[in-house]
Amino acid sequence: MATITFVRHGNTDHNVEKRAQGHTSNPLNERGRAQAALVAKRLAEEPWDVFISSDLVRAHETAEFISAATGKAVDLFDERLRERDTGKIANTIEAERIERWGEHWRELDLGIETHESMRARGIHFIEEIASKFAGKKVLVVTHGYFLGQTLKELMQDESTGHDLRNTSVTTVARQDGKWTYLLYDCVKHLPEQ
């Protein structure tokens, strides 16, 4: 049985400002670092066979907290785990998009990655990891919107994968040829929840 535990990175100023992050190299903020330390403490209670992270700064920083607490170094930084490529809207808020491209900016080709592309790379990652590390406990640090779209595709359920919280823990397992949730968007490690 393949088991993969996904952790969304800690909070950033971009999250607070509702600024499109995409592939930007923005770091965790103070709250995000505190969240990362708490999820790291939680994850240190379990042994991990494989540890993989997105290479973007906010995920990388979250992974560093986890690595320090668990004693497990990151085995691989994988670009497939990056957040949705937001193209020209990266680093902008809604008001700035309207100012630049008008109220119908969503209808323009601004180089934003499609849901289909995002889901395909997410599923490709999961299938490869499940095959390569069958029977192992795999820990993955990634991004909320990307993970949500990947989970929708993996579970074939559009009602799942919405608004995953910062440093939430989601575990999926393949049992009898089907993926199921063992844990979903769990933030029991965060005191404010």
Q: What is the pLDDT of residues 25-46, one digit of tens each?
A: 999 999 999 999 999 999 999 9
**Is 127 an annotated catalytic residue?**
no
Q: Whose structure tokens read 């937001």?
A: 86
**Domains of the chain: residue spans and CATH:** 3-186 (3.40.50.1240)
Q: What is the pLDDT of residues 108-146, one digit of tens each?
A: 999 999 999 999 999 999 999 999 999 999 999 999 999
- Four-CA torsion 180, 137, 163, 23, nearest 10 degrees: -130
DSSP annotation of 89: G
Of 178, 145, 177, 179, the closest CA to residue 162 belongs to 145
Residue 58 is assigned to a ligand binding site: yes
Catalytic pick from 83, 113, 143, 153? 83
Residue 102 is assigned to a ligand binding site: no
Split at pLDDT 50, 70, 90, the class of 1 is confident
Q: Which of 1-5, 33-37, 49-53, 146-150 has the lowest mean pLDDT?
A: 1-5
Residue 176 has a pLDDT of 84
Residue 189 is assigned to a ligand binding site: no
Residue 2 has a pLDDT of 79
**Is 83 an annotated catalytic residue?**
yes
Residue 49 is assigned to a ligand binding site: no
